[in-house]
Structure 1
């Protein structure tokens, strides 16, 4: 099991980000992201590796098995991934590292329509857009507690956590990998809340 996780970790992509003149960074398709979020993506291997170490050493066996399942499978190339991602999904959040070695939640509902992604159920939601960068899919979104109105990612302040007048919002940055049209994952390095890595496992 550890060998499978290490192989998946070794295959994680490194992003090539270009810095814009205003201090933000841009993806290949021109989408801008804040410098702090660009740092998270550039240190993807560091954050995911640390999270997996905690998950393997302290997670419950059943939870670790689900994490292995979620990380298994080679991602489809970009030419196939976007079509495979389209539609409604069941999505299971896995949080690794920091507060707990590994926590696996029940299934929620998620939806991908074109370039838009949204987690539709659960108390913690996320809504954003999919972008292309160096042959892979990057998610730029806004995380929020259900029931509040939130800005899109481009309209977030540089430090959004705790900035909302009512409720709580944060930036959600991740790498999206489609294994098939029935299995995909979004890997969030160093999320603002509760963990060292979040992994949203999509199935249908």
Structure 2
């Protein structure tokens, strides 16, 4: 009887850990994306340094500083949901060192019981599910749309397999900022920059 009870308790204790683990971002990300996310801080440090000269020359470096250095707050799922204006800032790398793009539309909605991000307009559209990283951030595992503005594509998953730099998956760390904005930071993108940040403001 005691052995049966002990076995049952072990089984119950294991269920939450298994459910959380198998649904977490570490189990869903490709090996390449796990590596990029592991080196997130390095990408931000290097990209900020590389973009400083180019950004100051164009008088827009403070826009990058504003979104990257704003204090983060608890990333509550309900506060992330909704319609956003969003723009991409490319930091560092060989492309131009620093580029600020125009504003487009994004949204974060509930899909299949999870948070789902989609860039709705403009070029380089993407979409994907968000996974809790810690109390102040989420991991976005996104895939570019077909032809950049065509139908949405599923994220590759742990097996990976996509090698085309135009279609390869795009992982990001998503945070809510104290001033009401949000940001998604994409470390080590395949093309052009050291990191990209998608700045988001409420529509």
Give the corresponding residue for 2:52: 56
1:72 aligns with 2:69: yes
Structure number with larger C-alpha Rg = 2
Give the corresponding residue for 1:102: 98
Give the corresponding residue for 2:148: 146
Give the corresponding residue for 1:35: 31
Give the corresponding residue for 1:129: 129
Query: Would you tell me which structure has more strand in proportion to its own residues?
Result: 1
Give SS of 1:149's match. coil
Separation (CA, whole Å) in 2 of partners of 1:63 and 1:160: 34
TM-score (norm 2): 0.76
Q: CA RMSD in A?
A: 2.4
Structure 1 residue 72: Cα displacement: 3.4
Query: Would you tell me which structure has more helix in proportion to its own residues?
Result: 2
**Alignment check: 8 A CA contact 1:174 1:189 kept:** yes
TM-score (norm 1): 0.76
Give the corresponding residue for 1:158: 160
Structure 1 residue 193: Cα displacement: 1.9
**Alignment check: 8 A CA contact 1:150 1:169 kept:** no
**C-alpha deviations, 1:97-130, integer Å up to 9, x for none?**
1111110001010001020100111111110011
Structure 1: stretches of 5+ with no match in the other structure: 1-24
Aligned residues: 174
Separation (CA, whole Å) in 2 of partners of 1:199 and 1:181: 17
